[in-house]
Amino acid sequence: MDSKDVYQAAVLFLLFAFTAAVAADGSDGGGASYIFGDSLVDAGNNNFLQTLSKANIKPNGIDFKPSGGQPTGRYTNGRTIGDIVGEELGQQHYAVPFLDPNTTGEAILYGVNYASGGGGIMNATGQIFVNRLSMDIQIDYFNITRKQIDKLLGAEKAREHVMKKAIFSITIGSNDFLNNYLLPVLSIGARVSETPDAFVDDLISHLRSQLTRLYQLDARKFIIGNVGPIGCIPYQRTINQLKENECVALPNQLALRYNAKLKDLVAELNDNLPGATFVHANVYDLVMELITNYNKYGFKTASKACCGNGGQYAGIIPCGPTSSLCDDRDKHVFWDPYHPSEAANLIIAKQLLEGNPKYVTPMTLRELRDLGL
């Protein structure tokens, strides 16, 4: 082997070593995404639960290319907001569902998804579905992941990975109203015992403790979504027999009451948790903009579910094999009675990545990713 060959071999070896080191500590440039929340961002955890809330049936996932259009447990026709954000931030892999038996080893360095359809801030939320992962349980599971990262990288590098390279995404709260407080009074809803203000205060108190616990596990970069206009989803429009441009007042009023206090909580945590950055995502106004001005964004309806059955807006029965299915999925804001379509998720994700300060403050997700690197 001459000197030129030796040089080329050395370069190749160093390049291979560098690539291996990058893979080993998860620092591929895109960082990692740890996702907490409900069915809006569940990537398949509920597939592994005995629960009434599942999306691993056709035609869910019909436009999800990695699975060839097969259902994965995502409650939409394609990618969730979490999937899209991860792609745009340069992450090599989607955050994998924590409950998937294959979620082991180096895969966790690129991100883990703990979200669960039916889950909420309160442990009682979603009990009508039998099983679901509440926010408290999701953080218990991250604690397990956190210890696994220590074993993979060693304590010092693990802490740096979590603090600098990981974004913690929280999309939760809708079920605390839809599948807790707003349930019929004679059922299991919290309305039996609490006023709206007391319930909202309870939610904020629990969320404060939960986010602080993540901080204590070295989380430093957070994106916190508020509750969207839940009075405008096809389910609410259908059961209340509303006109196309009408929304149910009470759910939206409760969401706005919670959202105002959530914004204060985000400011409080930014002030009181040293080294942490909490980004506030104004999902309510963003989704309301899509619903109000859907034509402007290329949609033909913001009231009717693409996949569903029952009533004027196909809003009663969840999406499944017997559902009616629209042909123009990218023209519907809503995929099913509760969840946005991939087309809507794309618009929401873009705003969070690089959008108007009306929707994402004090910085975009791209800026959050690069912070402190």
Which residue numbers are catalytic?
39, 336, 339
Tokens of 200: 């909202």
What three-state secondary structure class fits 334?
A: strand
| Cα angle: 164, vertex 347, 330; to 5 degrees | 135
Helix-then-strand count for the chain, H and E: 11, 9
Tokens of 272: 């009181």
> Element (H or E) spanning 291, and its range?
helix 283-292
Tokens of 9: 């071999």
Q: Where are the alpha helices (DSSP H) in 30-183?
A: 81-88, 135-153, 155-160, 174-176
Whether residue 146 contacts residue 34, with contact meaning beta carbons closer than 8 Å, is answered with no
> Element (H or E) spanning 224, and its range?
strand 221-225
Per DSSP bridges, beta strands 111-113 and 32-37 are parallel
- The sheet with strand 277-281 has its strands ordered as 96-97, 111-113, 32-37, 166-171, 221-225, 277-281, 360-361
Whether residue 42 contacts residue 56, with contact meaning beta carbons closer than 8 Å, is answered with no
Q: What are phi and psi for residue 361, nearest 5 degrees?
A: -140, 155
DSSP-derived letter for residue 10 is H
CB-based contacts of 8: which residues, under 8 Å, 6+ apart?
none
